[in-house]
Amino acid sequence: MVAGAAGPRRMARVMGLISVPITLGPVVGPIIGGLILQNLSWQWMFLVNIPFAIAAIILALVVLPADPRGSGRPAPLDWLGVFLLCPGFAAIVYALSRAGGDGFGSGGVIAGLAVGLLLFACYIAHALRTAGTPLLDVRLFRAKGFTASMTTMFLIGGGLRAHRRLVRRRLLVAVRRGDRGVRRRAGRPQPPAAAPVAAPSEPVAGDYQ
């Protein structure tokens, strides 16, 4: 819906704007959650979402244009793409989850990565050659703005997740060792270090055409 309302020329910038709440969520969310739990009952952790959901529905009805009536039959599902992408993602996720304990040199991790990358390569070849509508259109990456936006979001998202994982591991080790200072700080929200840079930079990624 957002892509249809934005149009192809503003697609990259809109995708960058959508990623701003995702970046600020780990910073603002724990603060708001702590205030709610400190002053209200725990049920408000779920009830607080209702006003935002109602506002989103109203704004969608008012702002987003109606879908144009399609001419002809809808595009069929790309079943070959489904059978290539789903096992490919599963193999990559399995390999990366095992790599933390077994290491990247283990046979299971190497096999999972090899199978996943092979399936991804087969899907890319299929998506570029098919005459129908592919499950994920990789031809979008020919647009410089789209590629720049996706690359920025991928690097920033990976950096933020790695930072949060390292902070949680450090706090866990310190708490196990009995560091009282870290125990007091463990209850405070740990803002991602890249958040002040990530939030303003993501909308700008769509300007590079």
For residue 80, what are the contacts with CB-CB under 8 A and spacing of at least 6? Answer: 126, 130
**C-alpha triplet 149, 154, 158: angle, nearest 5°:** 150
Residue 202's φ and ψ, nearest 5 degrees, are -70, -45
pLDDT of residue 30: 80
In this structure, is the dihedral angle defined by the CA atoms of residues 37, 42, 195 and 7, taken in order, positive or negative?
negative
pLDDT of residue 170: 66
Compute the radius of gyration of the chain from its Cα atoms: 22
pLDDT of residue 55: 92
CA distance 157 to 147: 15
Which band of pLDDT confidence, cut at 50, 70 and 90, is reported for residue 205? very low
pLDDT of residue 118: 95
CA distance 45 to 40: 9
Average pLDDT over residues 193-209: 47
pLDDT at 5 over 70: no
Query: Does residue 109 contact residue 161 with C-beta atoms inside 8 Å?
Result: no
pLDDT tens digits along 166-183: 766 666 666 666 655 554
CA distance 94 to 97: 5
pLDDT tens digits along 103-156: 888 888 899 999 999 999 999 999 888 888 888 888 888 877 778 877 877 787
Query: Does residue 205 contact residue 43 with C-beta atoms inside 8 Å?
Result: no
CA distance 203 to 71: 34
What tokens does 106 get?
């283990």
What tokens does 188 get?
């405070």
- Residue pointed to by tokens 């244009």: 65
pLDDT tens digits along 44-92: 888 888 998 999 899 888 877 776 665 567 778 888 888 999 999 999 9
Q: What is the dihedral of CA 175, 177, 181, 187, to 10 degrees?
A: 0
- Among 6-10, 117-121, 125-129, 195-199, the range with the most confident prediction by mean pLDDT is 117-121
pLDDT of residue 206: 47
